[in-house]
Every structure is written in C-alpha cells, then in structure tokens.
C-alpha cells in the first residue's frame, strides 16, 4: 500500500486524478444528484474561470514566481470591455482591446520584476491594487450591462452539447501544456524555476523570459475576464475579488511545487476541479459555506504536505 502510494507520486497527474475521483465518488455516494449531466455541466461552468487563471498561474509558479494580480487584472479587462461597449465600440473590438489591456498589465508586472528587481510577491501585490483601482476609476464604481449576442453566447451558449467556457479551458490547457513541454520557452521556464543564476550563466535571457511569463499570466487573466463578462453579461468593477487565491490554491492542490521548477500544468485543472467539487458537493449536501472554506483550507495544507513528502524523497 505504501509502495503504491509512492509509485503514484512519480505520476503527478494520475495521482491527483485519483484523488479527484475519490472525492467525486464520496460526494456522489452521499447525493445522487452530484453525478448528473446537468450538475456536471454546471460544475464545468463554475470551474472554468479559476481553471483558466490557474493555467497562467502554473507557468508563473513553475518559473519560481507568483502572480497575485490576476483577479484585479481580470476586473480591469472586464471593465475595459464594458466601458468600450457602453461607448458604442463593437463587442469584438472591445474584447480585443480588453485582452490587450490585461496582457499589458501582466507585461508591466514582468518589467517591474525583471528590470526593477522587485520580488514577484511585492510587484504583483502592487499591481493587485493598481489594476483594481484603475477599474474603479474608469467606472466610478458603476457596473455596465453588456447584453450583446457575443457575450451571451460565451456565457450561455453550447457547442456539441458542451458549454462554451469549457472550450476556453481546453484550449488554455492544451496550449499551455504544449508550450511548457515542447517549446524552448517552456524549457526555460523550468530552468529559471530550478535555478535562476544557473539559467542566467548558461545564457538564457532570464529577464526577457520573465517578462513573457507575466505577460502570459496577464493574457490568461484577460481571457478569463472574457468568460466572466459572458457569464455575468455585465462588468462590475469588484468582480472576481480575491479569486487569485483560488487560482494559486488550484495550482498547489494539483501538485505543482511552490518552490518552482517542477510540475505539469494539467494537474492545476484537476486542482481547480477538486475545489469546485468540494464547494458544489457541500452545497448539494446542504453544508454551510463557512465549513466549505475550512475544508478547502485543509485541502491546501494537505496538498503542500504531500509535496513535502515528494521533495523529501528526492533528497
């Protein structure tokens, strides 16, 4: 039994999928409603935004950094889209502009971290305040309605029977996984996360890579914002408040090492799914949302504990 446990450690995706399955089985044993097509579709919609953010966050964490600004950048993107649509810009162009603004915010994070030598925690904490603040300034705190066909389709449409946000998630994870495992950029992300000074000495353009990494995280935040605007059909400037912690938790629960240099992005999706299942399952079972927070907190600590066992075995 103990051997099996350790063997599974070398297959991080198999391991975390097994954990997710156990959780799903436990909840469905308690409530027949949990494993229904309807609830599953619901769950996927709920998980989509955190999952997209977690994909970007995974790249950042594997590179040895952290991005606390993703929720605020999401809000800034959403508000930019809402404000442009309100002022007569077509939803398509507004979306492109919004995504550009979100990516630019991430790019700024990267420049501050790489060129300004500000630790990622501090730089993105600053951006967390700045992006949210700008979103509030633009709107004066008002939420815009965006009831256009594009956003209604993104939020409520289906393709081949699956809600549209799921496709965003699939593309985000497929692209990220491919990038991390097959491209030079991906290899450098792992190298920088493993040892930044070695990477620098071996001629990797560490600063350039970091800027790209945080710009990419900004881009993922902006893509999550598009899904969010679709789901809400409006752009409240306080949207997604505190969601960065959920994104980081999803990455950690999935099993990517917080120390950087290790892990695969697909586990972050499962991590996001586990959190969503716990919330969704406990809602179905009628457990108070206060207890849900306690449970998720325990799951996060347990995940890091498992990660510690893994690194202890490496030494």
Partner 1 sequence: MPNQTPLVRMENISKHFGGIQALTDVSVELFAGEVVGILGHNGAGKSTLIKILSGAEQADSGRIFIGGEAADIQNPNDARSYGIETIYQELALCGNLDAPSNLFMGRETESLGLLNKSYMRSETDSILAKLGIKIKSLDVEVENLSGGQRQSIAIGRAVYFQARILIMDEPTAALGMEETKLVIDLIQELKKSGIGIFWISHDIHDIYSFTDRVAILKGGRNVVTCATQACSQEEIVSMIISGIPAPSLLKDRPMAAAANTA
Options 93, 133, 184, 285; binder of partner 1; rule CB under 8 A = 184
Binding of residue 310 to partner 1 (CB under 8 A): no
| # chain residues binding partner 1, by CB under 8 A | 22
Q: What count of other Cβ atoms lies within 10 Å of the Cβ of residue 198? A: 11
Residue pair 219/125 in contact by the 8 Å Cβ criterion: no
Q: Which stretch, 23-31, 76-84, 154-162, 194-202, contacts partner 1 (CB under 8 A)?
A: 194-202
**DSSP-derived secondary structure letter, 260:** S
Tell me the two tokens of residue 199. 């990477």
Binding of residue 203 to partner 1 (CB under 8 A): yes
Q: What count of other Cβ atoms lies within 10 Å of the Cβ of residue 111? A: 17
> Least Å distance between CB 61 and partner 1?
13
254 to 293: interface string for partner 1, x by CB under 8 A: -------xx-------------------------------
Options 133, 137, 187, 245; binder of partner 1; rule CB under 8 A = 187
What three-state secondary structure class fits 152?
helix
Q: Which stretch, 6-14, 164-172, 176-184, 302-310, contacts partner 1 (CB under 8 A)?
A: 176-184
| CA distance linking residue 294 with residue 300, whole number of Å | 10
Residue pair 253/295 in contact by the 8 Å Cβ criterion: no
> In the range 85-124, which residues lie near partner 1 by CB under 8 A?
none
Residue pair 17/138 in contact by the 8 Å Cβ criterion: no
Binding of residue 2 to partner 1 (CB under 8 A): no
Q: Which stretch, 90-98, 145-153, 198-206, 302-310, contacts partner 1 (CB under 8 A)?
A: 198-206
Binding of residue 201 to partner 1 (CB under 8 A): yes
Residue pair 201/192 in contact by the 8 Å Cβ criterion: no
Site residues, partner 1 (CB under 8 A): 182-184, 186-188, 190-191, 193-195, 197-204, 261-262, 314
């Amino acid at each position: 039994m103990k051997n099996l446990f350790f063997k599974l450690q070398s297959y991080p995706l198999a391991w975390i999928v097994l954990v997710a399955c156990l959780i799903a089985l436990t909840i469905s044993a308690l409530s027949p409603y949990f494993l229904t097509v309807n609830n599953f579709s619901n769950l996927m919609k709920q998980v989509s935004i955190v999952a997209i953010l977690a994909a970007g966050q995974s790249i950042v964490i594997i590179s040895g950094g952290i991005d606390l600004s993703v929720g605020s950048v999401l809000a800034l993107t959403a508000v930019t889209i809402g404000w442009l649509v309100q002022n007569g810009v077509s939803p398509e162009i507004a979306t492109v502009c919004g995504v550009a603004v979100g990516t630019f915010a991430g790019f700024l994070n990267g420049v501050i971290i790489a060129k300004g030598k500000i630790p990622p925690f501090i730089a993105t904490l600053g951006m967390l305040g700045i992006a949210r603040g700008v979103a509030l300034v633009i709107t004066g705190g008002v939420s815009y309605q965006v009831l256009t066909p594009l956003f209604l389709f993104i939020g409520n449409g289906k393709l081949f029977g699956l809600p549209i946000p799921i496709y965003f998630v699939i593309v985000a994870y497929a692209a990220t996984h491919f990038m991390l495992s097959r491209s030079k950029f991906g290899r450098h992300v792992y190298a920088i996360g493993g040892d930044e000074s070695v990477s620098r000495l071996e001629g990797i353009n560490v600063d350039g890579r970091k800027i790209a990494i945080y710009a990419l995280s900004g881009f993922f935040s902006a893509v999550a914002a598009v899904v969010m605007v679709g789901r809400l059909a409006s752009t409240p400037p306080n949207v997604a408040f505190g969601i960065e912690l959920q994104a980081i938790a999803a990455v950690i629960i999935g099993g990517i090492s917080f120390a950087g240099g290790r892990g695969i992005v697909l586990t972050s999706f499962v991590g996001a799914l586990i959190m969503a299942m716990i919330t969704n399952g406990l809602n179905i079972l009628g457990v108070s949302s206060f207890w849900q927070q306690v449970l998720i907190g325990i799951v996060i600590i347990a995940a890091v504990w498992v990660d510690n066992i893994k690194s202890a075995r490496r030494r």
